[in-house]
Chain A
Amino acid sequence: MNGGQDLGGMHGHGPIEPEANEPVFHAEWEKRAFALTLAMGMPGGWNIDMSRFARENRSPADYLAMSYYQIWLAGLIDLIEERGLVGEDEIEAGHSLHTPKPVKRILSPADVAKTLHRGGPTERETNTAPAFKPGDRVRAKNINPPTHTRLPRYVRGHAGTIERVIGCHVFPDSNATGAGENPQWLYTVRFDGRELWGPDGDPASEISVDAWEPYLEPA
């Protein structure tokens, strides 16, 4: 979606403010929001693309005015409410009011280390051949789906070069909407700064994105 999260190339957001000796978390509630989000992935049954979409799928006015973990929290609330795991009334009350919906399993303390170490690999077996090879000239398609996509607006319509064939990976555009993993070949595509930003671009800069095959056409 062309939402508040698609920030590449926007102006007006002001200076970057690195914080000296920044702590990992800035408040107790951030730790809890972080851990709750990770812990709910297993009982909730959503995938990473669904949770990314849940975070970005809100008014850009809200997205840009919220802090990072506020966005996580809002995404988590949307996900659990949509699936009927928790009701708005329960969050309001701060207590469970209804019988819990049964879930397959929850993340136990003993499984945390193992689960984190395993992560969520997205590479899949395939018997198709990649359409492009390193060195090929490609153009990012001009697509504007209202749902989740990993193709940022600022590269759409622009031509670049295939730098790397990464492998066949779960396609987030499908996975985020519950339409299945639909694995597709994934490439690293390199763009020239001037190609993306015109005469205002830095001639000595190049920008790479990882793009799934459905995002690309021969240039």
Chain B
Amino acid sequence: MNGAADMGGMHGFGPIGIEANEPVFHAEWEKKAFALNMAIGVANIWNLDAFRFARESLPPSQYLNLSYYGLWVVTLENMMLDHGVATSEEIKAGHAQAPVKKSKRTIAAADVANMVRCGSPYNRPSPGPALFKIGDRVRARNIHPKTHTRLPRYVRGHAGEVTRVVGCHVFPDSNAINAGEDPRWLYTVRFDGRELWGENSDPTVRVSIEAWEPYLEPA
């Protein structure tokens, strides 16, 4: 979607707020917001792409005015409501209401280290040969889906070069709307800065993105 999350190339956000000796978390609630999201992810009620979609679907005015973990909290609430994990009354009350419907899947403290170590790989067996190879000239398609996509607006319509064939990966555009993993070939594509930002831009800049095959066409 062309939402507030798609910031590449926007102006007006001001200087970068660099904080010396920045702590990992800035408040106790941030730690909890982080850990709750990680822990409930294991329950597999929703996938990460769907969570990202929910987060970027917030109205841009809200998305841009919430802090980073504030966004996580609001999104977690929305996901819990959408998936029947809790009712709005429960969220308002701050407690589960009887009869409490308990979860079947959860993560135990002992499993955390293993989860952190193994992660959740998104590569899958390939359904067929890759269409592109290293060195191929490709163009990012001009698509504007209203749902989740990992193709930023600023590369659409522009031509670049395949610099890596990453493998076959879960296709987020499909996974985010619960339409299945639909694995697709994934490539790293490099664009010239002037191709993206016009002839007056810095000639020494190259920008690379990861693009799934459906995002690309031969250039």
Interface residues of A (CB under 8 A from B): 1-4, 9-14, 56-61, 63-65, 141-144, 146, 153, 157-158, 196-201
Nearest A residue (CB) for B57: A12
Q: Which among B8-16, B18-26, B107-115, B122-130 touches the partner chain?
A: B8-16
Distance between Cα atoms of A132 and B115 in the complex (Å): 62
CB contacts (< 8 Å) of B57 on chain A: these are 12
Question: Which has the most chain B C-beta neighbours within 10 Å: A10, A153, A158?
Answer: A10
CB contacts (< 8 Å) of A201 on chain B: these are 144
Interchain nearest-CB distance for B140 vs A (Å): 11
Question: B85 at interface (Cβ–Cβ under 8 A)?
Answer: no
Question: B146 at interface (Cβ–Cβ under 8 A)?
Answer: yes
What are 16 A-B residue pairs whose CB atoms fall within 8 Å in the complex?
A1-B11, A2-B10, A2-B11, A12-B2, A58-B12, A60-B4, A60-B10, A60-B12, A64-B61, A64-B64, A65-B61, A143-B200, A144-B201, A196-B142, A198-B156, A200-B144
**Given the contacts A11-B1, A199-B143, A59 and B12 also touching, CB distance less than 8 Å:** yes
Distance between Cα atoms of A12 and B2 in the complex (Å): 8
Question: B209 at interface (Cβ–Cβ under 8 A)?
Answer: no
**Given the contacts A10-B3, A200-B143, A59 and B13 also touching, CB distance less than 8 Å:** yes
Establish whether residues A142 and B144, one from each chain, have CB atoms under 8 Å apart when the complex forms. no
Establish whether residues A198 and B141, one from each chain, have CB atoms under 8 Å apart when the complex forms. yes
Interface residues of B (CB under 8 A from A): 1-4, 9-14, 56-61, 63-65, 141-146, 153, 156-158, 196-198, 200-201
Establish whether residues A61 and B64, one from each chain, have CB atoms under 8 Å apart when the complex forms. yes
Nearest A residue (CB) for B1: A11
Question: Which has the most chain A C-beta neighbours within 10 Å: B11, B14, B63, B146?
Answer: B11
Classify the interface of chain B: helix, strand, loop or mixed. Answer: loop
Nearest B residue (CB) for A3: B12
Of A64, A142, A153, A197, the contact of B60 (CB 8 Å cutoff): A64
**Given the contacts A198-B142, A198-B143, A198-B144, A12 and B10 also touching, CB distance less than 8 Å:** no
Distance between Cα atoms of A141 and B58 in the complex (Å): 32
Establish whether residues A57 and B2, one from each chain, have CB atoms under 8 Å apart when the complex forms. no
Distance between Cα atoms of A14 and B201 in the complex (Å): 34
Question: Which has the most chain B C-beta neighbours within 10 Å: A13, A142, A200?
Answer: A142
Nearest B residue (CB) for A61: B64
Establish whether residues B13 and A65, one from each chain, have CB atoms under 8 Å apart when the complex forms. no
Q: A10-B60, A60-B64, A144-B9 given. 6 additional CB < 8 A pairs?
A: A61-B13, A61-B65, A63-B12, A143-B198, A198-B142, A198-B143
Nearest B residue (CB) for A196: B142
Interchain nearest-CB distance for B193 vs A (Å): 11
CB contacts (< 8 Å) of A144 on chain B: these are 9, 197-198, 201
Establish whether residues B197 and A142, one from each chain, have CB atoms under 8 Å apart when the complex forms. yes
Nearest A residue (CB) for B13: A59
Establish whether residues A12 and B58, one from each chain, have CB atoms under 8 Å apart when the complex forms. yes
Establish whether residues B12 and A13, one from each chain, have CB atoms under 8 Å apart when the complex forms. no
Establish whether residues B11 and A146, one from each chain, have CB atoms under 8 Å apart when the complex forms. yes
Distance between Cα atoms of A142 and B146 in the complex (Å): 24
Distance between Cα atoms of A3 and B11 in the complex (Å): 5
Distance between Cα atoms of A14 and B61 in the complex (Å): 11
